[in-house]
Structure 1
Amino acid sequence: MTAAVRRRPVAGADRRRVARLGAAAGLLVTLVALLLAPATPASAHAVLVSSSPAASAVVPSAPAEVVITFSEGVRKVPDKVRVIAPDGSRADRGEPTFKGAVVTIPVDPSGARGTYLVSYRVISADSHPVSGAFTYSVGAPSTPPTDTGTDTRANPVVGNAVKVAKYLGYAGLLLLVGPALVLAALWPRRLSRRGPARLAWSGLGLLAVATLAEMWLQVPYTNGGGLFDVSGSGFGDVLNSTYGTAHLVRLGLLAAAAFLLRPLFAGPVGRTDGLILAILGGAALFTWPLAGHPAASPAPAVSVVVDAVHLGSMAVWLGGLVMLAVFLLRRADERELDAILPIWSRWAALAVAALLLAGTVQGLIEVATPKALVDTTYGRLLLAKIVLFALVVVVAAYSRSLVRRRTAAGRPGLMRRAVLAELAITAVVLGLSATLVQTTPARTASADVAGAPAGYFSTTLSSPIYSLQVELDPAETGSNSLHLYAYTKDNRPQPVQEWKATAALPSAGIEPITIPLLPLTDNHAFGEISLPAAGQWQLRFTVRTSDIDQATVTATVPVK
């Protein structure tokens, strides 16, 4: 009997030693993933801000390259940056060059006259694909071609699958954190730990599966393919990205934590193991913001920390509510609930306060302006989340009042219904959160993505003897540049003998103002004009092509 008593501590020590060795192995995997991580600068969700040639511009001769510039640095998606000639063939020659925010596409300088299509799909620093297209014309506009060889649009099935995977990841996180926290600090010794342990293992497995699913789905999500359009090279690109590294680190930390969770689920653990678990959990929380919008915000250090606090507070609060609803309010007696509920109430209040503070800071960074809050999808989703969260806080305040009045322990059914109401509403909040992390932040969604300067005006005017391409930049009050290009009816450069142009704003009583024009080539003229007021300006152009042939065309230009 004495020998048996002596063997137990040894066995317990052996189990702790094995658990710590397993945790060390998981941390080693994490360290390797960090060492192999690519060194990339933080950047915002990229948007196209300019191009050369400009969108809708008409240039006299074919360029040797097309340059597109984004708001921040971007990465390549293989064969998704293309230039299509007027006849539908590929006009780009060789691979595009990526240098930070600038993408240079070599094109055939002897290309035919007409309209060219530039289509692109690139990956911004927050792991989201950015796609779009614009046209420019050589000599004169023609019917725009279509790109039949590739599709820059996202596959809707993949997009929805990514949201589901992220939702399951959030659910797995709270199902893991809640049982681990309650078993470590609040669980009555007389109650079996089997049920909470099973719930926690389910949460751990769900979180691991969701993490692997997110890595798999990132390949077709960025490339624009279907669910199973995953190649070895595509998966390798994901693993070599910051997004892939963050997910590998998360898996390593989960593996390390798994070895220490087993003794916790069997019985109380020492302070050292509890501290190591807390460190592993805190480190894992940072893998979410490092793989999403926060790492690419204007203040990445602040955004990453705030998002990790937001996520951790959510896991503590909702995970604890699940433990209350499923186990404690059913199994604990009144004396135990009298001891547990006041402590939990304080924890919940702190978690909610952290959620409110972190959410406010996060919202200010990601939304940036009050206008973006109502004018963008991200802003409207955030407003819906705020309304639902306010409703949850009201229910939580009711639960807290039950605890303060000492009603909850004596009437656990009443408390349980309030907790279930909180969980039902927050399930919807989690769904909104999973959608938000896949939505372009309001700070960039409100930016101009047309590939031309804000307010840039371009149109083609027709007369019986010529067509006139008109470009006004920036079409705002103050100084503006005017470019005019004349073409024959069969889209060839039309030599011009005399140019005349005026601008008037009848609604403000401004009579026609003569615009001085400087001929740059036979068919191209340039002028500068200062527009003193906003409104619908009437531009009038008279072009004389011979001693006797001339025609006048007009355009209405909205000026801001």
Structure 2
Amino acid sequence: MRLLAAFAMLLAIAGTPTSASAHAALISVEPASGSILASAPKAVELRFNEAVTPGAIQLIDGAGRARDDARVTTSGEAITVAMPADLPKGTAVVSYRVISQDGHPVAGSVIFSIGAPTATQPRANADGRLSAVIWLSRIGLYLGLFVGVGGVFFGRWIAWSMAGMDVPRAALLLGLPSAAVSLGVLGLDLLGLPLAAIVTAAPWTIAFATSAGLASIVAIAAMLLALMALSRVWYARALAVVAFIGVGLSLAMTGHAATASPEVLTRPAVFVHGLAVAFWIGALTPLAALLTKPTPAVLPLLNRFSRIAVPVVAALALTGLVLAIIQLEKPAALVETTYGLILSVKLVLVLFLLALAALNRYRLTPALVKDRGVATVLKRSILLECATALGIFAVVAGWRFTPPPRTMVAETPLAIHIHTDKAMFQVLVSPGKAGVDDFVLQLMTGEATPLQAKEASLTLSLPERGIEPMERDAELGPDGYWHVRKVELPFAGRWHVRIDALVTDFEKITLEDDLEVAPP
């Protein structure tokens, strides 16, 4: 009863919602990125969709120098970077790396020019090995939690035997340092530091301050308890179940899926999903070891495991579906986003894993009653399940580098309003960045009624970059607006916009204004 009470308490903790929006996204910048200013701004304000913690904020001035005299302050969802008084003319870059409330870094750059633009660029990450270490350490962590802890739980509670524990023990010994390294490289990523800085205190300090810090402690504790459960102490079964619960708890404490809204649903879903994975995957290597030299006790064990696995796999599929719907928001995200593509590959591998499990459950296990030679085939099938599970871990570890579609803030079209006593023109530019853009022109009279025009054209120029006026004819769409599609804007900056509307054969209305186009 005490174990059940502890289980309920831990599940309640995992399911307790917080005020986090789960993954930060930049929603506004002042001054706007790509702006050309007459004088240096006093400050650059970055506003996010949730409260964030500054990781690394760097200013590179128009002379290409990295400045360390820019003061950074935070207030709720906003980060303000005070500019030094002696900021020279040219293009300045404010590179930011902030920590969202799910413990992941959000990075980007804001570019603005004082006077004429220059070729200043954000500095690239000098150590490309960091991403590889992050990926490998996560795979090692998954092996420790799912293969290691799950294997020990299988031995203590399903097989009632510690036979075949060599692989789970090795997975635990790999998972423990992987959990520690995973936390250290998270700190490096949050601060934008190279791999060599892992021996310093700064990355560890900031990583422990995130939700991933406590989650890592729980994961390490779970793996240590599982190692202790391998011994012959009388309370080994209790250690195994507490370690098993720790797997789900550590996963439900941090990450994209666990911190998605509504957390009262997503955290328990991640908790149950993690336990289901540990139960299923943890059983594979011990079963394969037992089938090497099958005994009469193996068949009852296989039947017992199969009966329990059916509802476990059902829970795995249901929670996975719920989390996928929340993360993707729309089916098209499966192929339109990197996160969705990773999920698509995972689903293919999971379907293959389910097919192998069904083969083992409904064909090979019953055949073992009549023919003990089937044990070799069953073992090979289980080993193939192990290899597929490893592939899933490798694929899922890639989610660390891409935000889920639900966190992607939709780009608001760039808009300008040109107004005279005679006419009003509304111009929408999507996405409003250097590259290929679509223009939508709404033509109205001075009284804000639709302006009937026979023809309309759009003329764009960027004098500061030597781009002379280029004219494009607009087409009247069924929505009543004039459209100019796939306009190539090669540079960011203040583009001059001229719209000509031919009202009659003898009357043409021309309105002009400037448009700030952001960098790509």
CA contact (8 A) 1:154 1:221 kept: no
Q: 1:392 to 1:53 in 2, by over 3 A?
A: same
Matching residue of 1:456: 414
Asked whether the 8 Å contact 2:94–2:109 carries over to 1, the reply is yes
Contact map agreement 1:294 1:300 (CA 8 A) in 2: no
Partner of 1:252: 221
Q: In structure 2, which of residues 183, 192, 195 is the aligned counterpart of residue 215 of structure 1?
A: 183
Aligned pairs (5 A) from 1:323-472? 323-326=286-289, 328-333=290-295, 335-402=296-363, 405-407=366-368, 410=372, 411-444=374-407, 446-448=408-410, 454-456=412-414
- Structure 2 portions without partners, runs of 5+: 417-425, 431-438, 444-460, 488-495, 501-509
Q: Which residue of 1 aligns with 2:419?
A: none
Checking the alignment, whether the CA contact within 8 Å between 2:145 and 2:219 is kept in structure 1 is: no
The yes-or-no answer on 1:160 pairing with 2:127 is no
The answer to whether the 8 A contact 1:116-1:144 is kept is no
Letter in 2 for 1:417: R
What is the SS of the residue equivalent to 2:92? strand
In 2: Cα distance, 1:504 partner to 1:158 partner: 47
Give the residue type in structure 2 aligned to 1:214.
S
Superposition deviation, residue 368 in structure 1: 1.4
**How far did 1:325 drift?**
0.9
Kept in 1: contact 2:47–2:79 (CA 8 A): yes
2:24–2:49: 8 Å Cα contact kept in structure 1? yes
Deviation of the 1:166 alpha carbon: 0.9
Alpha-carbon deviation of 1:395? 1.6
Bigger Cα Rg = 1
Of 203-212 and 109-118, more deviation after overlay is shown by 109-118
Task: Give the drift of 1:385.
Answer: 0.8
- Maintained 8 Å contact 1:45/1:293: yes
SS of equivalent to 2:413? coil
Post-superposition offset of 1:349: 2.0
Query: CA 1:48–1:144 in 2, change beyond 3 Å: closer, same or farther?
Result: farther
Q: Is the 8 A contact 2:474 2:484 kept in 1?
A: no
Equivalence map 1:77-92=2 (5 Å): 77=55, 80-89=56-65
Aligned partner of 2:278 in structure 1 is: 315
- Letter of the 1:42 counterpart: A
Percent identity for Structure 1 against Structure 2: 24
Q: Aligned partners of 2:464, 2:405: CA distance in 1, in Å?
A: 45
Q: Distance in 2 between matches of 1:163 and 1:196?
A: 28
Alignment correspondent of 2:255: 292
Q: What is the match of residue 68 of structure 1?
A: 46
Specify the alignment match of 1:196 in structure 2. Answer: 164
- What is the number of residues matched between the two proteins? 451
* Cα separation, 1, equivalents of 2:516 and 2:464: 24
Cα distance in structure 2, aligned partners of 1:402 and 1:533: 64
Q: CA deviation at 1:46?
A: 2.0
Equivalent of residue 57 in structure 1, options 23, 35, 39: 35
Q: 1:320 to 1:124 in 2, by over 3 A?
A: same
- Contact kept in structure 1, 2:257 and 2:266, CA below 8 Å: yes
Question: Partner residue of 1:521?
Answer: none
Matched AA of 1:56: G
Contact persistence 2:334–2:344 (CA under 8 A): yes
Deviation at 1:53, TM superposition (A): 0.6
Letter in 1 for 2:186: Q
Partner of 2:71, secondary structure, is coil
Task: Report the alpha carbon displacement of residue 361 of structure 1 after superposing the two structures with TM.
Answer: 1.0
Asked if 1:99 is matched to 2:75, the reply is: yes
Q: Is the 8 A contact 2:184 2:203 kept in 1?
A: no
361-370 or 237-246: which moved more? 237-246
TM-score (norm 2): 0.75
Q: Is the 8 A contact 1:165 1:210 kept in 2?
A: yes
Could you tell me whether the CA contact under 8 Å between 2:36 and 2:113 is conserved in 1?
A: yes
- Contact kept? 1:42, 1:300, Cα under 8 Å: no
Q: Which residue of 1 aligns with 2:121?
A: 146
Q: Residue type matched to 1:367 in 2?
A: L
Please report the RMSD computed on the Cα atoms of aligned residues, expressed in angstroms.
4.2
- Select between 404-413 and 282-291 the one with higher mean Cα deviation: 404-413
Q: 1:83 to 1:181 in 2, by over 3 A?
A: closer
Whether the 8 Å CA contact 1:120–1:152 is kept in 2: the answer is no
Structure 2 vs 1, CA of residues 412 and 56 (structure 1 numbering), >3 Å: closer, same or farther?
same
C-alpha change, 1:74 and 1:393, in structure 2 (3 Å) is: same
5+ residue gaps, structure 1, are: 1-22, 459-470, 481-485, 492-502, 511-529, 543-550
- For residues 382-421 of structure 1, the C-alpha deviation after alignment (integer angstroms, 9 at most, x for no partner) is 0011111111111211111125634366321121122122
**Partner residue of 2:152?**
180
For 1:490 and 1:393, locate their aligned partners in 2 and report how far apart those are by CA, in whole Å: 59
- Report the AA paired with residue 46 of structure 1: A
Cα shift readout 1:69-121 (whole Å, capped 9, x = no counterpart): 123222122xx323333223467844211223211011146645443222212
Contact 2:57 2:95 in 1 (8 A): yes
Matching residue of 2:207: 238
1: CA distance between counterparts of 2:314 and 2:124?
Answer: 42
Change (3 A) 1:323 1:252: closer
Secondary structure of the corresponding residue to residue 370 of structure 1: coil
Contact 2:339 2:399 in 1 (8 A): yes
Q: Judging changes above 3 Å, is the alpha-carbon distance between structure 1 residues 152 and 116 closer, same or farther for their aligned structure 2 residues?
A: same
